[in-house]
Amino acid sequence: MAEIIDGKAVAADVTAKVKVAADALLEKANVQTGLAVVIVGEDPASKVYVANKGRTAKACGFHSVEHTLPEDTSEQELVDLVECLNDDPSIHGILVQLPLPKHIDDGRIIQTISPEKDVDGFHFINVGKLGTGETDTAFVPCTPAGSMLLIERVLGKDLSGKTAVVVGRSNIVGKPMFNLLLAANATVTVAHSRTQNLEALCKTADILIAAVGRPQMIKGDWVKPGAVLIDVGINRIDAPEKGEGKTRLVGDADFESCQTVAGAITPVPGGVGPMTIAMLMANAVTSAYRSAG
Ligand code: GUN
């Protein structure tokens, strides 16, 4: 049976270190790390994430600001708010929760965030820095950064000689994950919905990243024995066994069958999810240190 990678415990380690760093910056330079989270509309999953981010930011000793805007907020109003946060010296990190309502262009909003405050790592400048290895001054997207930390706990930092398959090519997870694995010397393939023989490809992976957004798609017989399986998916499915109308969270991998084959596996919930928030806190305190020189 696979080792179950405890993302909650690793995330608690990270946030404890972030708090120490944030407290030290406050004491030595009188700078309190400021994180602003902006949410537009009523998406219930987004509301849960944003509440978790606010709670964790406060636990890290941050100045935590939440802007909750109505669904009918105009694109220009959101641009104006982001520009105001860009100019606010008490704010070091800005996160605009995605997805945004359809009438707002995500791309325009992301490119409005100052790259120095872009703790999501989605701005072109940060994407470019990650792609060219300028990670000392970049912000790395939180979910891929957290996934790398979990891989590191099992395999160490250097992935030389390992093959990695990333299933999913999103800007938020798949593409940055490719860059991080490559920078760690893994041999990386990115698979997606047009890939043929996906099952056979997955079976070649020493490190398999499931980031497709399809519940329980990756089955145990797709997994190479002993592989490290990082499940980035968070999907809510019906759970009639828990009672009528009940639901539960599952990943993009079928945990039951995969855990009998993999060497190590992240659970859902309690795997990558908590790491995303922890890495956001790490990016925010990094930003505050950079601003303090
Ligand atoms: N929605 C889902 N994941 C993310 C994320 O990492 N950042 C933001 N801003 N929105 C998200």
Does the annotation count 53 as an active-site position?
yes
Q: What is the pLDDT of residues 147-164, one digit of tens each?
A: 999 999 999 999 999 999
- Our answer on whether the CB atom of 142 is closer than 6 Å to any ligand 1 atom is yes
Taking the CA atoms of residue 166, residue 192, residue 213 and residue 253 in that order, the dihedral angle to the nearest 10 degrees is -50
- Our answer on whether the CB atom of 96 is closer than 6 Å to any ligand 1 atom is yes
- Our answer on whether the CB atom of 232 is closer than 6 Å to any ligand 1 atom is no
Does the annotation count 221 as an active-site position?
no
Which one is catalytic: 19, 117, 118, 120?
Answer: 120
- Span from the CA of 108 to the centroid of ligand 1 (angstroms): 16
Does the annotation list 170 as a binding residue?
yes
Task: List all residues 6 or more positions away from 230 whose beta carbon is below 8 Å from its beta carbon.
Answer: 5, 147, 150, 151, 207, 208, 209, 210, 266, 271, 272
- Our answer on whether the CB atom of 98 is closer than 6 Å to any ligand 1 atom is yes
pLDDT at 5: 98
Report how far residue 159's alpha carbon sits from residue 179's, in angstroms, rounded to the nearest whole number: 13
What is the model's pTM? 0.97
pLDDT at 283: 98
Which one is catalytic: 19, 53, 117, 175?
Answer: 53
Q: Quick one: tokens of 255? A: 């945990």
Q: Which amino acid is at 242?
A: K
Report how far residue 208's alpha carbon sits from residue 206's, in angstroms, rounded to the nearest whole number: 6
Q: What is the pLDDT of residues 203-243, one digit of tens each?
A: 999 999 999 999 999 999 999 999 999 999 999 999 999 99
Q: With contact defined as beta carbons under 8 Å apart, do 40 and 104 qualify? A: yes
pLDDT at 95: 98
Does the annotation list 291 as a binding residue?
no
Closest ligand 1 atom number to CA of residue 172: 6
Kindly state the percentage of the chain with pLDDT values over 70.
100
Lowest mean pLDDT among 22-31, 40-49, 67-76, 208-217: 40-49
Q: What is the pLDDT of residues 113-134, one digit of tens each?
A: 999 999 999 999 999 999 999 9
Does the annotation list 168 as a binding residue?
yes
- Our answer on whether the CB atom of 95 is closer than 6 Å to any ligand 1 atom is yes
Report how far residue 89's alpha carbon sits from residue 112's, in angstroms, rounded to the nearest whole number: 17
Q: Quick one: tokens of 59? A: 């636990």
Answer yes or no: is the ipTM higher than 0.85.
yes
The residues facing 35 across adjacent strands are 64, 93
Q: Quick one: tokens of 27? A: 């004491």
Query: Which domains are seen in the chain, by residue range?
Result: 30-114 (3.40.50.10860), 142-273 (3.40.50.720)
pLDDT at 24: 98
- Our answer on whether the CB atom of 259 is closer than 6 Å to any ligand 1 atom is no
Q: Quick one: tokens of 251? A: 């990943």
Q: Quick one: tokens of 50? A: 């944003």
Quickly count helices (H) and strands (E) in the chain: 10, 11
Q: What is the pLDDT of residues 242-266, one digit of tens each?
A: 999 999 999 999 999 999 999 999 9
Query: What is the pLDDT confidence band of residue 293, given thresholds at 50, 70 and 90?
Result: confident
The residues facing 235 across adjacent strands are 250
Closest ligand 1 atom number to CA of residue 280: 6
pLDDT, averaged across the chain: 98
Q: What is the pLDDT of residues 64-95, one digit of tens each?
A: 999 999 999 999 999 999 999 999 999 999 99
Residue closest by Cα to atom 11 of ligand 1: 98
Q: Which amino acid is at 9?
A: A
- Span from the CA of 17 to the centroid of ligand 1 (angstroms): 23
- Span from the CA of 36 to the centroid of ligand 1 (angstroms): 14
